[in-house]
Structure formats: structure tokens, C-alpha cells
């Protein structure tokens, strides 16, 4: 693919769904009685200008890690949809153990233990559907969703039970001392969780594109049967991929707890995985390409939350915009496949898709 073809592909397959979603969203906003131009102006102003860019960058940290967890699994055509459960249970564990942990240990050691504990929770939740898939051939969509619902319930039980702060009436964990939260990048109000997330992007990019492990992942994604015949340990790879994917979901939760919130309330669910899913496919499952696209959503989420309040409409309008991106992606995928325009959003081998 030459330069002009690449530019055309980006415009058609990546930019067009977002632009069309914003245009269709303007109609929705008008129907709701809001001024679309004023709404989008507020989104940009609040998400990028003044201190908005710092809030946007901070919001990107957990989103990027969730996106990486999806990319690692989806590249191999392993549909790990347990992101919500992995995130919430890891968030509960991080928020529950951190106050005592950071109060009794040096910051660096406590941070490492908290991150490892969270990642272990996510990996364990990923291990169950992986084991069922390689042992019994069970569909991972069903089992990962099953584990997700179980994990969400356990997270709420922990927050309402052993880790509930008795000093407040609302069921939540104790609040982590500000001095023990992730420090800011010097000169900004952006916590270093973003740096961790960007390092993870580079590591996953190198792992998937420049290692034997990444090659095996892509072969599995292109044709699992061919991977088996080529001598790839598909069972071992399946388990490893689920462990990595679940661990990344959980690290996102730890970063969010330690960098942004400092505590967790029962019933809290930011739904990062559902919201970022379209942008992962817009990035064609590329870790590096996911960074600007996650940034687009972060601007929308950061600025749009306040913009919706100013416009007097529900913040759920942001979910409508994300859904519209998916709708236009589907239309472009169908037309693009028929007319052979651009590169498919889908992994190779999935419904005829090609990366």
C-alpha cells in the first residue's frame, strides 16, 4: 500500500466514522433541544484548552491499558469480554488493600505490591475462560462474560463488607491518603499512571510486531488451524494471551484507583471497555494507533460530561455518540468490503476480514 492509499485508508476507515458520528450526533443533540455547535465547542474547550488537556491526559491512562488488553486478545481472535469484571474486582482489591499497605510500607514497595496484586486478580479471572477453552472447547465469549458478572458481584461484596469504611454511611472503601497516590508528572496535574500506560503501549507494540510471540499471536488470529499445524502450542498461547489481557485490564483499574480516585464505592462502574471498544477496532488492533484514538474518546468524555450538564441533557448522549461511531464503522465495513476500499477493521480470518 503506497502513501496515498494509506492516507485514503485512514480518511475513509478511521476519520470518516468519527466525523459522520459527530454529524449524526448533531441531529440527536438538536432533537434533545441542545445547540450542537455550542455542545461541540464546549467539548473541545473543556477537553483541550485551559486545564482540560491535563484532565484528558489523566483520563487516557486507564483507557489505554484497557485498550491494550483488548488488542492482545483480539489479535489472536480470542474474544475476552471480561474486561468489566477484571477491572472492577482489581479496583476493589487495589482500593481495599492500599490504605493499610501504603501506611505500613515504603511507597515504592507498596506501589509494586498493589500493582502486582491487581494484575494477579485480572490474570486469574482470565485464566478460567482460557482453561475452559483449551480443556473443553468452551466459547470464551460466554465464559469471560460469566466470570465478569461473578467478579463484579464479588467486588461489590468486598466494598460493602470487609473493606467498607465504617466512618461513612455510603458503602465505599477507605480513602487513600493524597500523599500516597501516584505523583504528578513534574509541571503538570497529570499523574504518572499515564507514563506507565504509554510504556505499556510501546512494550505491547514491540511484543506483537517484533517478537516470535507476536508472530504466533498473528498466526493464531489469521488461522487457528494453520497455527496448530505449524507447531504452535495453541493451548499454551491461549492461556498466556488471556493472562496478559486480564492483567492489563486489572492494571488499568489499579492506575485509576491510585492515580485518580483513591477509593471505590459499591456499584461504581465506569464502563471503560464498552466505551473504548469501537476505537480499538478503528486502530485496526494496533497499540500505537490506539493512542490518538483513545485520546479522541478521552476529549469527548472529559469535555462532554460538563458540556452535557451545560446543555441540560443527560450525559448518556456520549454513549449515543460512541454507538453512532460503531454504526458508521459497520456501514463502511460493508461498503468497503464490497468495493475493496481500505483495510478491514476485523482481524484476518474473521468473516473474511484482513488486517
| Count of CA atoms in the C-beta half-sphere (13 A) of 345 | 24
| Count of CA atoms in the C-beta half-sphere (13 A) of 351 | 7
Provide the phi-psi class of 342: left if phi over 0, else alpha when psi is between -120 and 50, else beta: left
CATH of the domain at 234: 1.10.3470
Domains in the chain: how many in total?
1
Asked whether residue 345 is domain-assigned, the answer is no
> Is the full-model pTM beyond 0.75?
yes
d(CA 308, CA 3): 39
HEC letters along 73-94 = HHHCCCCCCCHHHHHHHHHHHH
Asked whether residue 105 is domain-assigned, the answer is yes
The residue behind cell 466494598 is: 159
pLDDT at 340: 74
- Residue 315: domain span: 3-339
Asked whether residue 291 is domain-assigned, the answer is yes
Backbone angles phi, psi at 172, to 5 degrees: -155, 165
Q: What is the pLDDT of residues 32-53, one digit of tens each?
A: 999 999 999 999 999 999 899 9
Asked whether residue 335 is domain-assigned, the answer is yes
Asked whether residue 347 is domain-assigned, the answer is no
Q: What integer best gives the mean pLDDT of the chain?
A: 93
Asked whether residue 352 is domain-assigned, the answer is no
Do 52 and 302 meet the contact criterion of CB atoms below 8 Å apart? Answer: yes
Asked whether residue 353 is domain-assigned, the answer is no
The three cell numbers of residue 98 are 492500599
- Locate all alpha helices (DSSP H) within the chain, ordered by sequence: 3-9, 16-31, 36-48, 52-75, 83-104, 107-136, 140-160, 193-210, 212-222, 224-229, 234-256, 272-282, 287-311, 317-339
Asked whether residue 354 is domain-assigned, the answer is no
Q: What is the pLDDT of residues 223-278, one digit of tens each?
A: 888 888 888 999 999 999 999 999 999 999 999 999 999 999 999 999 999 999 99
Angle between helices 36-48 and 16-31 (to 10 degrees): 120
Q: What is the pLDDT of residues 6-39, one digit of tens each?
A: 787 788 889 999 999 999 999 999 999 999 999 9
Amino acid at each position: 500500500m503506497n502513501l496515498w492509499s494509506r492516507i485514503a485508508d485512514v480518511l475513509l476507515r478511521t476519520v470518516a466514522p468519527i466525523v459522520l458520528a459527530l454529524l449524526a450526533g448533531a441531529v440527536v443533540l438538536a432533537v434533545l433541544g441542545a445547540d450542537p455547535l455550542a455542545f461541540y465547542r464546549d467539548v473541545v474547550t473543556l477537553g483541550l484548552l485551559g486545564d482540560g488537556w491535563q484532565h484528558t491526559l489523566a483520563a487516557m491512562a486507564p483507557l489505554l491499558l484497557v485498550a491494550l488488553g483488548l488488542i492482545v486478545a483480539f489479535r489472536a481472535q480470542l474474544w475476552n469480554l471480561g474486561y468489566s469484571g477484571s477491572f472492577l474486582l482489581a479496583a476493589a482489591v487495589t482500593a481495599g488493600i492500599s490504605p493499610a499497605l501504603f501506611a505500613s510500607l515504603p511507597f515504592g514497595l507498596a506501589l509494586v505490591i498493589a500493582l502486582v496484586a491487581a494484575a494477579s486478580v485480572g490474570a486469574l479471572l482470565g485464566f478460567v475462560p482460557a482453561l475452559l477453552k483449551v480443556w473443553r472447547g468452551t466459547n470464551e465469549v460466554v465464559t469471560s462474560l460469566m466470570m465478569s458478572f461473578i467478579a463484579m458481584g464479588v467486588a461489590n461484596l468486598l466494598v460493602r463488607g470487609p473493606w467498607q469504611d465504617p466512618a461513612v454511611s455510603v458503602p465505599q472503601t477507605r480513602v487513600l491518603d493524597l500523599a500516597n497516590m501516584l505523583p504528578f508528572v513534574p509541571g503538570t496535574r497529570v499523574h504518572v499512571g499515564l507514563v506507565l500506560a504509554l510504556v505499556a503501549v510501546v512494550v505491547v507494540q514491540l511484543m506483537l510486531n517484533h517478537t516470535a510471540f507476536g508472530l504466533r499471536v498473528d498466526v493464531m488470529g489469521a488461522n487457528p488451524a494453520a497455527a496448530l499445524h505449524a507447531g504452535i502450542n495453541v493451548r499454551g498461547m491461549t492461556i498466556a494471551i488471556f493472562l496478559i489481557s486480564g492483567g492489563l485490564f486489572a492494571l488499568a483499574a489499579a492506575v485509576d484507583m491510585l492515580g485518580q480516585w483513591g477509593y471505590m464505592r459499591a456499584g461504581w462502574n465506569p464502563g471503560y471497555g464498552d466505551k473504548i471498544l469501537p476505537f480499538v477496532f478503528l486502530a485496526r488492533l494496533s497499540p500505537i494507533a490506539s493512542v490518538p484514538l483513545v485520546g479522541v474518546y478521552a476529549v469527548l468524555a472529559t469535555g462532554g460530561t460538563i458540556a452535557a450538564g451545560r446543555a441540560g441533557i443527560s450525559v448518556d448522549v456520549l454513549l449515543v455518540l460512541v454507538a453512532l461511531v460503531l454504526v458508521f464503522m459497520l456501514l463502511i465495513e460493508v461498503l468497503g468490503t464490497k468495493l475493496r476500499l481500505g483495510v478491514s477493521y476485523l482481524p484476518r480470518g474473521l468473516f473474511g476480514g484482513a488486517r
